[in-house]
Amino acid sequence: MAAISCRLFYQSASPHIQQLYTGFRLLHRSGFLRLSQERRPAPVRYSSDAPHLRGAGHAHLDVLVGEKLRLHFDTHDAEELALSELASCHFYFKRSWLPAVVNSLPPEQRGKVLPLGLNYRVLPDVTDLFAIRRALSLTGLSAATLAAFKQALDTNNRFGFQPRMRVMHAAPNLRADPNVLFLVAAYNPYDDPSRSQEKIDDRIFINETRARCIRLLKDALGPRFTGGFSYSRFAAEQYADLVVPPDSTSQVQYLRTLHSFPICVATTGLHGSTGWKLAEYVAFSKAILSERLVYDVPGTFAPGSHYIEFTSPEECLNGAIRLIEDVALRQKLMQSNAAYYRDYLRPDALVRNALTTALEQG
């Protein structure tokens, strides 16, 4: 099969789209595609002026496949679609893919919007000259560009940790002691004066749900549970008894801790999003306890086979006890997530699946 020609039209170096950049870089290296890129001349804009959509273009990427097939990738947290981008592309791959939103579109557009998959930040293990060129174009000779040079060239992490492919996944450890992990952030509802009351209430609800889960798990499981809020001024003021030491939530220490915990808890993120932690849990082959997912993803990722679903903190605790006691279920979830990572979540698999779907349907 001849290599596919793919031209990226970028507008940011956002962590939200790093998974895509990594996937395209790896497929270019493997010979599956021939990659080129150029800076997008104008930013993505939404028809809505909602505060949470201002600047959301950082999470978007356009791709021209061959000479004619136009793809748009949207990794923003929220359900809203960039309608002008939808009108100008053949397929729109959406991270936060909601059937109700898709079904509200005109019939001729519904089939264009497809689920992209779980999202997390991961860098390639190889030198990325494409990233250097993007940085020079976007920020010129600046501190941000120097950081991008280091990120692109220091593939062995000699000058500081970076979340590279080789350290961002693991096979299931089926013999690990059945301990439960839930380290999470608390969101300040009032740090943006333009935030709507609906979004303020959303943050309060997320924080309270997470706090209740932490307290129940801590009280019931004792030494089998490790968890709490990462330090922030807001978390320290509102949930002082639940804040963990700052050094325990650095990415390096967090990943060390993650390796030794087979059971991990995930809750809904901002705008109903599926958080990056869920993707990390899948990549590390964990037995997952997850709050009911709002958005759909490709493949057969489902409650019972890949995670235990909960809709309340009390159900979260019951699920944790179930996974501690049921060895067979715990191991089944871990093995299913290892397979899902291989087939759908790995950056090269995620991008390959999107390209293959577009080429087959286009």
Please, which pLDDT band fits residue 119 given cuts at 50, 70 and 90? very high
Supply the pLDDT for residue 49.
81
Tell whether the model's pLDDT for residue 322 goes beyond 70: yes
Supply the pLDDT for residue 263.
98
Among candidate residues 105, 103, 116, 100, the one with its CA nearest the CA of residue 82: 105
Q: Return contacts of 296-300, CB within 8 angstroms, 24+ apart.
A: 296/97, 296/98, 296/99, 296/115, 297/97, 297/115, 297/116, 297/117, 297/118, 297/344, 298/114, 298/115, 298/116, 298/117, 298/344, 298/353, 299/117, 299/340, 299/343, 299/344, 300/340
CA distance 257 to 263: 12
HEC letters along 250-313: CHHHHHHHHHCCCEEEECCCHHHCCCHHHHHHHHCCCEEEEECCCCECCCCCCECCCEEEECCH
Please report the DSSP string for 77-128 in residue order.
SSS---HHHHHH-SEEEESSB-HHHHHTS-HHHHTTEEE-------B-SS--
Look up the pTM and report it: 0.95
pLDDT, tens digit (0-9, with 9 covering 90-100), for 16-69 = 999 999 999 999 999 999 999 999 988 888 888 888 888 889 999 999 999 999
Residue type at position 256: R
CA distance 156 to 127: 10
Please, which pLDDT band fits residue 1 given cuts at 50, 70 and 90? low
CB 65 within 8 A of CB 358: yes
Supply the pLDDT for residue 345.
98
Residue type at position 296: D
- How many percent of the chain have pLDDT more than 70? 100
| C-alpha distances in Å from residue 259, one per residue of 26, 254, 280 | 25, 9, 11
pLDDT, tens digit (0-9, with 9 covering 90-100), for 204-241 = 999 999 999 999 999 999 999 999 999 999 999 999 99
pLDDT, tens digit (0-9, with 9 covering 90-100), for 147-198 = 999 999 999 999 999 999 999 999 999 999 999 999 999 999 999 998 999 9
